[in-house]
């Protein structure tokens, strides 16, 4: 994803989708016999978003997925 996207709305939508996947995908991944992403990798993705992308939504996926 470009650091300064041509369409911030489309980039935000893509980030929202990935965030939704990180927040809600664990049980679906397990149901499909996929290995869910480890929390450390989710944290790494979020740090990258915060450090590298402009206008990144601030809600943390890991804050919701760590049970």
- The pTM for the full model equals 0.59
Residues in the chain: 67
Say yes or no to pLDDT of 62 above 60.
Answer: no
- Phi, psi at 55, each rounded to 5°: 55, 40
Using a 10 angstrom Cβ sphere, with 0-12 exposed, 13-18 middle and 19 or more buried, the burial of residue 22 is buried
pLDDT (0 to 100) of residue 40:
94
How high is the pLDDT of residue 33?
93
Q: How confident is the model at residue 54 (pLDDT cuts 50, 70, 90)?
A: low
Q: How confident is the model at residue 41 (pLDDT cuts 50, 70, 90)?
A: very high
Better-scored residue on pLDDT, 54 or 38: 38
């Amino acid at each position: 994803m470009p650091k300064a996207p041509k369409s911030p709305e489309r980039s935000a939508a893509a980030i929202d989708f990935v965030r939704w996947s990180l927040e809600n995908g664990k049980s679906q991944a397990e149901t499909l016999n996929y290995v869910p992403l480890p929390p450390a990798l989710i944290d790494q993705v979020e740090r990258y978003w915060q450090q590298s992308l402009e206008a990144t939504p601030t809600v943390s996926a890991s804050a919701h997925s760590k049970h």
